[in-house]
Amino acid sequence: MKPVVYAALLTVLLGACAQQPTKEAAVIEDRAQPAAPTVAKDGIETRGIAPAAPDARALDGTLRMPPKNAAGALGQRTVYFDYDSAAIREEYRGVVEAHAGFLKTNANAKVILQGHTDERGSREYNLALGQRRADSVRQAMSVLGVPEARMESVSFGEEKPAVEGQGETAWQKNRRAEIVYEGE
Amino acid sequence: MKTPLRHTLALFLFALTFSVPAWSAMTIEIIGGAAKRIPLAIVPFAPADKLDDPAEIVSADLARSGLFQLIETRDVSPLPREPQDIRFPQWRAKGADAIVIGQVLPLGGNRYEVRFRLYDVVRGQQLAGFSYTTTPQGLRAVAHKISDVIHEKLTGEPGAYSGRIAYVLKSAGRYELQVADVDGHNAFTVARSSEAIISPAWSPDGSRLAYVSFEDKKPVVYVQNLVDGTRRALARFKGSNSAPAWSPDGKRLAVVLSKDATSQIYLIPAAGGEPQRFTRGGALDTEPAFSPDGKWLYFTSDRGGSPQIYRAPIDGGGAPQRVTFEGGYNVSPTLSPDGRTLAYIHRREGRFLVAVMDLATGQTQVLTDTDHDESPSFAPNGRTLLYATLLGGRGLLATVSVDGRVRQRLSQSGDLREPAWAPVAN
> Given this structure, which CATH class describes domain A2-181?
alpha beta
Pair (B77, B171) in one structural domain: no
Which DSSP state fits A28?
Answer: T
Residue of A32, A153, A156 with shortest CB distance to B215: A32
CB contact under 8 A, A135 and B393: no
Q: Are residues B326 and B178 in the same domain?
A: yes
Residues B99 and B169 in one domain: no
B277 versus B406: which is more confidently predicted? B277
In a domain, B24, yes or no: no
Instruction: Judge whether residue B373 has pLDDT over 60.
Output: yes
Pairing relationship of beta strands B231-235 and A38-41 according to DSSP bridges: unpaired
> Distance of CA B307 to CAs A30, A125, B30, B255, Å?
38, 8, 32, 18
* Domain identity same for B82 and B108: yes
Q: Do A135 and B214 touch (CB under 8 A)?
A: no
A3: distance to nearest CA of chain B, Å? 32
B218 and B323 part of one domain: yes
Residue B146 sits in the same domain as residue B176: no
* Domain presence at residue B400: yes
Q: Among the three residues B127, B155, B183, which one is the final residue of a domain in this structure?
A: B155
Q: State pLDDT tens for residues B78-134.
A: 999 999 999 999 999 999 999 999 999 999 999 999 999 999 999 999 999 999 999
B39 and B176 inside one domain: no
In angstroms, what separates the C-alpha of B56 from chain A's closest C-alpha? 35
Q: What are phi and psi of A20, to 5 degrees?
A: -55, 135
| B3, pLDDT greater than 80 | no
pLDDT per residue over A8-61, tens digit each?
A: 433 433 333 333 333 333 334 333 333 343 433 344 444 444 444 445 556 677
In the prediction, which pLDDT does B405 show? 87
Structural domain includes residue B344: yes
Which residues in chain B touch residue A37, judged by CB atoms under 8 angstroms apart? none
CB B206 within 8 A of CB B422: yes
**Is pLDDT above 90 for A96?**
yes
CATH number at residue B185: 2.120.10.30
pLDDT of residue A62: 84
Please check whether residue B5 lies inside any domain of the structure. Answer: no
- Helix/strand/coil (H/E/C) assignment for every residue in B281-335: CCCCEEEEEECCCCCEEEEEECCCCCCEEEEEECCCCCCCEECCCCCCCEEEEEE
> Which residue from B98, B45, B40, B29 is spatially nearest to B67, judged by alpha carbons?
B40
Same-domain check for residues B38 and B139: yes
Pair B178, B223 in one domain: yes
**Chain B CB within 8 Å of residue A58 CB:** no
| Beta-strand relationship, B374-378 and B384-391 | antiparallel
CB contact under 8 A, B263 and A28: no
Residue A68 Cα to chain centre, angstroms: 13
Whole-number Å distance between alpha carbons of B298 and B333: 7
Domain boundary residue, one of B123, B155, B187 = B155
The reported pLDDT for the residue numbered B13 is 25
CA distance B41 to B73: 7
Instruction: For A132, name the nearest residue in chain B, comparing CA atoms only.
Output: B262
| Minimum-distance CB partner of A132 among B197, B212, B262 | B262
Residue B410 lies in a domain: yes
Whole-complex ipTM: 0.89
Domain that holds residue B247: 164-421
Check whether residue B196 and residue B104 sit in a common domain: no
Question: Bridge partners of B38?
Answer: B68
Look over chain B and give the mean of its residue pLDDT values, rounded to a whole number.
91
- Same domain? B221 vs B334: yes
pLDDT bin (cut points 50, 70, 90) of residue B392 is confident
What is the C-alpha to C-alpha distance for residues B116 and B126, in angstroms, rounded to an integer? Answer: 11
Average pLDDT over all residues of chain A = 77
CB contact under 8 A, B224 and A26: yes
Separation of first and last alpha carbons in chain A: 25
Residues near B206 by beta carbon (within 8 Å), at least 6 away in sequence: B164, B226, B422, B423, B424, B426
Q: Does A22 touch chain B (CB under 8 A)?
A: yes
DSSP reduced 3-state for A113: strand
Under the banding of pLDDT at 50, 70 and 90, the label for residue B159 is very high
CA distance B268 to B223: 12
CA distance A32 to A22: 10
- Identify the pLDDT of residue A61: 74
Nearest CA in chain A to B344: A122
Count of domains observed in chain B: 2
Does B312 lie in the same domain as B199? Answer: yes
Q: Which of A15-24, A60-69, A166-175 has the lowest mean pLDDT?
A: A15-24
CB A73 within 8 A of CB A95: yes
* Domain-terminating residue out of B114, B132, B155: B155
Find the Cα–Cα–Cα–Cα dihedral B60, B179, A40, A31, rounded to 10°: 160
Distance from C-alpha of B266 to C-alpha of B254, rounded to nearest angstrom: 6
The CATH number that applies at residue B117 is: 3.40.50.10070
Minimal CA separation from A156 to chain B, in Å: 7
pLDDT single digits (tens) B340-360:
999 999 999 999 999 999 999
* Residue among A24, A28, A132 minimizing CB distance to B284: A132
